[in-house]
Amino acid sequence: MKTNRFFNKYITAVFAAAALLWLASCENPEPDPGPVPPTQDEIEARWPEKITVDGLGDFVKVQRDTFTMGSSNGPVDEQPAHDVAFSASYYMGVFEVTQGQWKAFMNGENPSDSEVEGSIHDSIPVNNVTVSDVQKFIEAVESQTGRDFDLPTEAQWEWAAMGGVKSQGYEYAGSNNLDDVAWYIGNSDEMIQKVGKKAPNELGLYDMSGNVSEWCSDRNGKYASALQTDPKGSGSDYNYRGGAFDDIAIGADVPGKTCRIKARAAGSQATYNRGFRLIMVAPLDSDLLPE
């Protein structure tokens, strides 16, 4: 019958087309996408909590998270309080960079102000440096260690000073009692002090409040109100944080204003009471924990 002949031809055509498609798929297989790259969390799971760098000492892991930066009831430049997130964790130096460390990487040079009594010592923070000076130091350190370093952004500094994921919500870096954790005008005899003589904060970082204020890598600007990821200020002057040994901590408009974690300041000049600490961007393969 014609109907059967038509049906048979139709079925034959369908099978032939299917066979051709199968042959084509065999000749041109789908490319192998390869292994799925690890997520940032999977990468960081192998990062150790602490890394010791020759010539610079210990760096502690600052685990990324979202936090509230700034304050809703502080000075105008600390407002508005807003959420900040990080795309990656980082490591921060346990201590402010010392004069001894600077000399070791910079061929014996020491730019620190010698007019301040008791200010020259290998265990005292290097001071009297600009951000440009610090970048030259970083270049020397990277060349000699094979690692990537930088100054922290203002957001990275504040998160670390708060204690990161271990934060207890203190006003100063590690305590609500300024004398416990900081050298300031009330206890320093207006002299720079050796690093690490006060109590650390929750992450084990010393002198985040007081001693010398610390340069940041980004410039001062007004805070945004929306969530920001890896924010960087874009004003004219560089941020610096933490207050210093000769800053007024009690009085003015806010008690302990300059040494508070949330307190902001900016400038461009090298001064006797300003230094820095480094962040390490990521560990080397040789630092990683076993899989």
Residue 193 belongs to some domain of the structure: yes
Residue 34 belongs to some domain of the structure: no
Gap between the Cα atoms of 232 and 48, Å rounded = 27
Residue 26 belongs to some domain of the structure: no
Gap between the Cα atoms of 204 and 225, Å rounded = 30
Question: Residue 28: what pLDDT?
Answer: 55
B/e letters for 231-260, b = 16+ CB within 10 Å, e = fewer, are bebeeeebbbbbbbbbbebeeeebebbbbb
Question: Residue 234: what pLDDT?
Answer: 87
Q: What does the pLDDT look like over 101-155, one tens digit per residue?
A: 999 999 999 999 988 777 899 999 999 999 999 999 999 999 999 999 999 999 9
Residue 17 belongs to some domain of the structure: no
Gap between the Cα atoms of 61 and 50, Å rounded = 6
pTM of structure: 0.87
Give the model's confidence band at 278: pLDDT under 50 very low, under 70 low, under 90 confident, else very high.
Answer: very high
Instruction: Give the residue-averaged pLDDT of 251-276.
Output: 84
DSSP state of 77: G
Over 80: is that where the pLDDT of 249 sits?
no
Over 60: is that where the pLDDT of 5 sits?
no
Per the structure, how many domains does the chain have?
1
Give the model's confidence band at 7: pLDDT under 50 very low, under 70 low, under 90 confident, else very high.
Answer: very low
Gap between the Cα atoms of 174 and 84, Å rounded = 21
Which of residues 36 and 163 earns the better pLDDT score? 163
Q: Please calculate the CA angle 78-82-87 and round it to the nearest 5 degrees.
A: 115
Q: What is the 3-state secondary structure (H, E, C) of 208-272?
A: CCCCCEEEEEEECCCCCCCCEECCCCCCCCEEEECCCCCCCCCCCCCCCHHHCCCCCEEECCCCC
Residue 178 belongs to some domain of the structure: yes
Gap between the Cα atoms of 189 and 111, Å rounded = 22
Residue 25 belongs to some domain of the structure: no
Helix (H, G, I), strand (E, B) or coil at 122: coil
Over 90: is that where the pLDDT of 15 sits?
no
Question: Residue 3: what pLDDT?
Answer: 46
Strand ranges of the sheet holding 274-275, from the earlier edge strand across to the other edge: 265-267, 238-241, 213-219, 274-275
Residue 35 belongs to some domain of the structure: no
Gap between the Cα atoms of 159 and 176, Å rounded = 17
Q: What does the pLDDT look like over 188-228, one tens digit per residue?
A: 998 999 999 999 999 999 999 999 999 999 999 999 999 99
Gap between the Cα atoms of 261 and 264, Å rounded = 8
Question: Residue 10: what pLDDT?
Answer: 47
Residue 31 belongs to some domain of the structure: no
Q: Could you tell me the sign of the dihedral formed by the alpha carbons of 254, 255, 259, 260, in that order?
A: negative
Q: What does the pLDDT look like over 27-82, one tens digit per residue?
A: 556 677 778 899 999 999 999 999 999 999 999 999 999 999 999 988 899 999 99
In terms of residue numbers, what domain contains 132? 40-285
Question: Residue 255: what pLDDT?
Answer: 44
- At 90, which helix (H) or strand (E)? strand 90-93
Question: Residue 251: what pLDDT?
Answer: 46
Tell me the sheet residues that pair with 241.
Answer: 214
**C-alpha gyration radius of the chain:** 28
CATH number at residue 172: 3.90.1580.10
